[in-house]
Amino acid sequence: MKFPKSYKLKEVATIIDAKYIGDENFVVEGINEIHRVEAGDIVFVDHPKYYDKALNSDATIILINKEVDCPEGKALLISDDPFRDFVKIGQYFAPFKQANKHISSSAEIGEGTIIQPGAFIGNNVKIGKNCVIHSNVSINDYAIIGDNVIIRSGTVLGADAFYYKKRETGFDRLKSVGNVIIENNVEIGANCTIDRGVSASTIIGEGSILDNLIQIGHDTIIGKKCLIASQTGIAGCVTVEDEVSIWGQVGITSGVTIGKKAVLLAQAGVSKSLEGGKTYFGYPAAESRELYKKMAITDIIIKEYRER
C-alpha cells in the first residue's frame, strides 16, 4: 500500500511511538509484506529467523523488534511488537469506512455496466465498461475491475486476508489494506471468494475464467487465460502463471509458483512450485507421466505376486 503522499521517517515513528535508526528525514512511501516490497516501503519482521531476509529485501525501512546493524541506505523502526505496529500504520492511512448505501457514491462505474439488485459496491471501487455484476455480489473497498467482466451471484471480492498472530489471549488479525484487481474479460462464477491483499493486490489476470465455489487467498496472482474449476482452494501469496488449467478440488499451499501452461488434474495437492508445460496429479502433486509409470510398475508387481 502506498501512502497518499511521502512521509518522513520521524513522522511515521511518531504514529507508533517507536525509536528509529537513520536520518529523521528519510522518505517513507508505503508499507508492504516481504514478498511484495518495493523501494520506499516499510516491511515488518518479528522473528530472528527472518531478520536477514527483511534487512536484505527491497524494503528500505525495516520495522523490527531488535536493534541490529542497519544496512547502508536503509532505516530501522524499533518496536516491541512489529506485528501490532504494522497493523497500526496500515489502519492510520487506510481505516475501515462504514458504507451507508448499496452502491457507494465514491464508486466509479463504466458505461454499459449492469449492476443487478442486491449487489454491494464499496467505497472507491472502480468498475469498467460493459460488465455484469449479478445480485448478492459484494465488491469491497478499493477493488478495481476492468472491462467486460462477469461476476455471478454470491461472490465476495475483497474480504480480509486469513492472516493471524497467535497470542496468549487468542488471535490478532492482520487487518488488510490491500485490494483486489480483476483485469479485462474475466468471468467469475457463483459463490467465489477472492481475498484482498494484506498490503498489495490480489490479481486475476485478463481472460481468466473461474468456476463456482473457488477460494483465492490474499496477494495471490492469477495469470492471463487461466481456467480454474469448482472447489479449488488457492492459499495466499501464490503465483499462477498464464494459461494454467486447474481442475476441481485442487488445493495449493501458500507461496508457490505454478508455471505457464501447467495442468493440475482434479484433487491434486500442491505443496511446492511446479514447472510449466506439464500435467500433474496426486498428493503431493507430481508429473502425471512419472506417476503413471510407477502405477503401471506397481500393478505388474502385484499381478506377478498373485500369480505365484
Instruction: Return contacts of 244-251, CB within 8 angstroms, 24+ apart.
Output: 244/276, 248/211
- Reference 227, options 247, 245, 252; nearest CA is 245
CB 70 within 8 A of CB 22: yes
Tell me: cis bond preceding 284? Omega within 30 of 0 counts: yes
Find the radius of gyration of the CA atoms of the chain: 22
d(CA 59, CA 30): 10
Residue 292: burial class (beta carbons within 10 Å; 0-12, 13-18, 19+): exposed
* Secondary structure element (H or E) that encloses residue 157, with its range: strand 156-159
Q: Read off the DSSP letter of residue 23.
A: -
255: which strand partners?
none
What amino acid positions are annotated as catalytic residues? 218
Bridge-based pairing of strands 209-210 and 227-228 is parallel
234: which strand partners?
216, 252
Q: How many CB atoms lie within 10 A of CB 257?
A: 16
CB 178 within 8 A of CB 197: yes
203: which strand partners?
181, 221
